[in-house]
Amino acid sequence: MRVPKFADPAIDLRSDTITRPSAGMRAAMAAAEVGDDVYGEDPTINALQRRVAEMLGHEAGLFVPSGSMGNLLGLWCLVNPGQEVLCDARAHLARGELGAHAALHGITMRTWTSFTGVADANTITKLISPKTAFLVQTAAVALENTHNFGGGSVQPIKHIRQISKACREMGIGLHLDGARLWNAHVATGVSLADYGQPFDTVTVCFSKGLGAPAGSMLVSSAANIERAREQRKRLGGGMRQIGILAAAAGYALDHNVSRLAADHAAAAAFAAEVANAVPEAVTSPQTNIVVVDTGTTSAAKLAHEAAKIGVKLSVIGPRTVRAVTSLEVTLPAAMTAGRLVGRLLAKA
**Domain end among 255, 274, 289:** 255
pLDDT per position as a tens digit, 30-63: 999 999 999 999 999 999 999 999 999 999 999 9
Residues 202, 54 share a domain: yes
According to the model, what pLDDT value does residue 2 have?
A: 43
SS3 34: coil
302 with 324, same domain: the answer is yes
Compute the distance between CA of residue 132 and CA of residue 153 in angstroms, rounded to an integer.
35
Assign 319 to helix, strand or coil: coil
Q: How far apart are CA 116 and CA 150, in angstroms?
A: 4
Count of domains for the chain: 2
What is the domain range of residue 272?
11-20+259-347
Which residue, 255, 277, 306, sits at the end of a domain? 255
pLDDT at site 4: 47
pLDDT the model gives residue 1 = 32
Q: pLDDT at position 117, please?
A: 86
Beta-strand (E) ranges in the chain?
Answer: 11-12, 60-64, 84-88, 108-112, 138-144, 173-178, 201-205, 216-220, 289-293, 311-312, 314-317, 320-324
- Does 6 fall in a domain? no
User: What pLDDT shows up at residue 130?
Assistant: 81
Residue 5 has a pLDDT of: 65
Give pLDDT < 50 ranges for the chain. Answer: 1-4
Residue 116 belongs to domain with CATH number = 3.40.640.10
pLDDT of residue 8: 66
Query: What are the pLDDT digits (tens) for 139-181?
Result: 999 999 999 999 999 999 999 999 999 999 999 999 999 999 9
Q: Do residues 246 and 264 share a domain?
A: no
Q: Residue 169: what pLDDT? A: 95
Judge whether 16 lies within some domain: yes
